Amino acid sequence: MRLKSMGLFVMSAFQALRHSEGGQGLVEYALILSLVSIASIVVLGLVGTDIGDVLDTVENALDGDDG
């Protein structure tokens, strides 16, 4: 009898989780965060060398080098 009541409890818990939408917001935030991260990596990969060149130019100008 106890095993049957435990089985009913587990089944009702699974049904409650299946119909619950509480985790939907968390999944949406995780997707947005992953998309922003991927976009940031791509943008930094594309302009990273350009930023390095600009910083080298500024460093050389501050040091007084003619480059």
Domain presence at residue 16:
no
Specify the number of domains making up the chain: 1
Dump the DSSP string for 11-23. HHHHHHHHH--TT
Task: Give me 53's structure tokens.
Answer: 């060149």
Dist. CA 57–CA 60, nearest whole Å: 5
Domain presence at residue 64:
yes
pLDDT of residue 22: 66
Tell me the per-residue pLDDT of 30-67, one tens digit each, with 9 for 90 and over: 999 999 999 999 988 888 778 888 889 999 999 886 55
Range of the domain at 28: 22-67
- Establish how many alpha carbons lie within 13 A of residue 50's alpha carbon, considering only the half-sphere containing its beta carbon: 5
Q: What is the pTM of this model?
A: 0.47
Task: Give me 63's structure tokens.
Answer: 């040091």
Domain presence at residue 31:
yes
Domain presence at residue 53:
yes
Question: CB within 8 A of 67, min separation 6: which ones?
Answer: 57, 60, 61
Tell me the per-residue pLDDT of 9-40, one tens digit each, with 9 for 90 and over: 777 776 776 666 667 788 889 999 999 999 99
